Structure 1
Amino acid sequence: MKILADENMPYVEALFADMGEVELIDGRSLSAKQVSDADVLLVRSVTKVNQQLLSLNNKLLFVGSATIGLDHLDQDYLTQRNITYTNAPGCNAKAVGEYAFIAMLELARRFEQALIDKTVGIVGAGNTGSALQKCLEAYGVKTLLHDPLLAQSNDKRDFVNLDELIARCDVISLHVPLTKTGDYPTWYLFDEKRLASLMPGCWLLNCCRGEVIDNRALIAVKQYREDIKVVLDVWEGEPNPIAELVPYVEIATPHIAGYSLEGKARGTFMLYQSLMHKLGKTPDKSMDNLLPALWSHQLSPIDVPDEKALLSLVRLVYDLRDDDEVFRKRFLNNNGFDLMRKNHKHRREFSALRLANNAGSDVDWLFKLGFSGVGL
């Protein structure tokens, strides 16, 4: 069995080598010829899996995407071909939620404001939006949720409409799939009118898909709304962001909000489980054996709960400023966007840091935030 896998997916060989020949490929430039003799195709969101890509292949039995979304897979065509396909919902939810939370702490520090005093609106309350809500509530930040599909389901949380959320929130973080059809399309959900209506001094974060915000409209609005502060991890026209927009963005990164080592490993492992099920086999490997050991950090009585100290603690795990600096230097380079994603391997989640609290401080909220070992 031949298994083609995106080179940016970790632990592929450790998990799949027993099943057949593993070949790592550049998911962005993958061609029909390369796929022609594959039995299994493992991709990320940069690969469009459609009739054109699979035109030379008559043996593919499984497509796995190590992502939360499916918009890059032609599901109708795969179903027509009787090709099993799956994704990895929730695999990077913690990473994205923590990224947005860290970005908010960085903005609070930069502009000498307190995150804990703000109301944060979360647009899209699925896996990633819920992970952000968990971080914010652990720290004591008020949140409002907008998700019309979940509001119509059995979800017991309270939801507000989008206009109310925009009117009431100091911070807005976007966590929706990219859709152009249906009752609630998200393509250009934040157009020029909505962008102009943001509260004075609003912080706007996009960690889902670039086209949820009209990037040209954002440039236009920023001409007269310098008070709006923007964090973009995703960009219209990836892998070629609109260069004119970058100077107007406070924190800029190359679609790596979900690129924690844990999140990527979780995505690969979920595909491994799905393929084993497809083959009628029982998984015999564990994700826990793949990841490096936890780090340790000793808390002192003055470490928490001050917001400045919290940011210092968070930076021990992931210093977002580093990726912002690299992005600004390299995004215009040839293949710069994708090379930054490919080489992004240092990011960990809060759970990678084990905290020892010998000072007896009340820091249970840090455990709820996701750190390991609090109170030991």
Structure 2
Amino acid sequence: MKILVDENMPYVDELFGELGQVVKVSGRTLDAATVADADVLLVRSVTKVNEALLQANQQLRFVGSATIGMDHVDRDYLARRNIPFANAPGCNAIAVGEFAFIAMLELAQRYGGRLQDKRIAIVGAGNTGTALANCLAAYGVDYRLCDPLLAQSGDKRAFYSLDELLGWADVISLHVPLTREGAHPTWYLFDEQRLDKLPPNAWLLNCCRGEVIDNRALIRVKSRRADLRLVLDVWEGEPNPMAELVPLVDLATPHIAGYSLEGKARGTYMLYQALCRELGITPSADLNSLLPPFHLAGVTLSQNIDERQLLGLCRSVYDVRDDDWVFRREGLDGRGFDNMRKNHRHRREFSALALAHTGASEVDWLSQLGFTGIGS
């Protein structure tokens, strides 16, 4: 069985090697001729899986995408051909939530004030938006959710309209899928008109899809609104972001908000489980055995920590400034953008760091934030 996989997916040899011949390819440049004799195709969001890609293949048994989003996959076409499909919902939700939380801490440190004093609007309350909400709740930050689809589905959480939140929030963090149709499309959800409605000194974070914001409109608005603070992990026209936009952004990264080792391992492992189900076999590999040990054996806290110290603790796990620095110098064209993603191996989640506490202090919130091993 030939298993064609995106070269940037980790742990494929360890997980899929026992099931067949693993062949790694560039997901960005994958073509129909390369896919023609594959039995299994495993991709990420950079590969458009559609009739044009699969038309020469008559033996495909399974398609998997190690992503939450599915806008790059023509699922109707797969269904017509009876090709099973699986994705990895929630695989990198914790990573994205922690990325947005860390970025907010960085902005608070850079521009003064405390994150705990901000009001956060989370637009999109699915896996990643919920992960951010969990971080904010653990730290005691006031937040509200906007998700009309979940509100209509019977989700019991409190939801607010987007325009209502724009009049309330200090910070807007975007966590929606990219959709062009339906009652609530997200393509250019933040067009020039809505960007103009951002409150004074607002922070706007986008960790979902670049086209949720009209990037050219953002350039125009930012040119007349120096008070706006921007965190962009995703860009219209990836892998070639608009060069004139990058200098206007406070934290700029190449679509790696979900790129923790834990998140990527989960994504690959979820596809491994799905393929095993299709093949009718029992998975033999274990997820936890894939991850390397963290470079810090642990950290002992001797007192309560303030927000500046919390940021330092977060930076010991992942310092977003490093990726921002490299991106501005090496990631502004397609090759550099993709190289940063391909070689991104340093990012971990809070759970990688074990904490201990020697004093009599309430540290439950650090456990709720995701750190492990907290005790006295």
- The answer to whether the superposition gives a TM-score over 0.5 is yes
Within-5 A mapping of 1:1-376: 1-294=1-294, 295-302=296-303, 304-333=304-333, 335-376=335-376
TM-score by length of 1: 0.98
Q: Post-superposition shift, 1:153?
A: 1.6
Tell me how far apart the structure 1 counterparts of residues 317 and 246 of structure 2 sit (CA, whole Å).
26
TM-score by length of 2: 0.98
Q: Post-superposition shift, 1:281?
A: 0.8
Tell me how far apart the structure 2 counterparts of residues 318 and 261 of structure 1 sit (CA, whole Å).
11
Q: Which amino acid aligns with 2:186?
A: T
Most deviating of 354-363 and 220-229: 354-363
Most deviating of 324-333 and 306-315: 324-333
Q: Post-superposition shift, 1:109?
A: 0.4
Q: Does the Cα contact within 8 Å between 2:176 and 2:186 map onto a contact in 1?
A: yes
Tell me how far apart the structure 2 counterparts of residues 347 and 321 of structure 1 sit (CA, whole Å).
12
Q: Does the Cα contact within 8 Å between 1:314 and 1:350 map onto a contact in 2?
A: yes
Q: Which amino acid aligns with 1:228?
A: L
Tell me how far apart the structure 2 counterparts of residues 124 and 375 of structure 1 sit (CA, whole Å).
34
Tell me how far apart the structure 1 counterparts of residues 334 and 78 of structure 2 sit (CA, whole Å).
33
Q: Which amino acid aligns with 2:150?
A: L
**Offset from partner CA, 1:26-51 (integer Å, 9 cap, x none):** 10001111101000000000000011
Most deviating of 287-296 and 188-197: 287-296
Q: Does the Cα contact within 8 Å between 1:195 and 1:221 map onto a contact in 2?
A: yes
Uncovered stretches (5+) of structure 1, i.e. residues with no partner: none
Q: Does the Cα contact within 8 Å between 2:144 and 2:160 map onto a contact in 1?
A: yes
Q: Post-superposition shift, 1:334?
A: 5.6
Q: Does the Cα contact within 8 Å between 2:239 and 2:334 map onto a contact in 1?
A: no
Q: Does the Cα contact within 8 Å between 1:296 and 1:356 map onto a contact in 2?
A: no
1:333 and 1:240, CA in 2 relative to 1: closer, same or farther beyond 3 A?
Answer: closer
Q: Post-superposition shift, 1:359?
A: 2.2
Tell me how far apart the structure 1 counterparts of residues 78 and 94 of structure 2 sit (CA, whole Å).
29
Q: Post-superposition shift, 1:55?
A: 1.6
Tell me how far apart the structure 1 counterparts of residues 247 and 120 of structure 2 sit (CA, whole Å).
24
Alignment RMSD: 0.9
**Offset from partner CA, 1:156-175 (integer Å, 9 cap, x none):** 11000000111100000000
Q: Does the Cα contact within 8 Å between 2:35 and 2:53 map onto a contact in 1?
A: yes
Q: Which amino acid aligns with 2:299?
A: Q
Q: Which amino acid aligns with 2:237?
A: G
Tell me how far apart the structure 2 counterparts of residues 66 and 12 of structure 1 sit (CA, whole Å).
11
Q: Would you say how many aligned residue pairs link Structure 1 and Structure 2?
A: 375
Q: Secondary structure at the match of 1:220?
A: helix
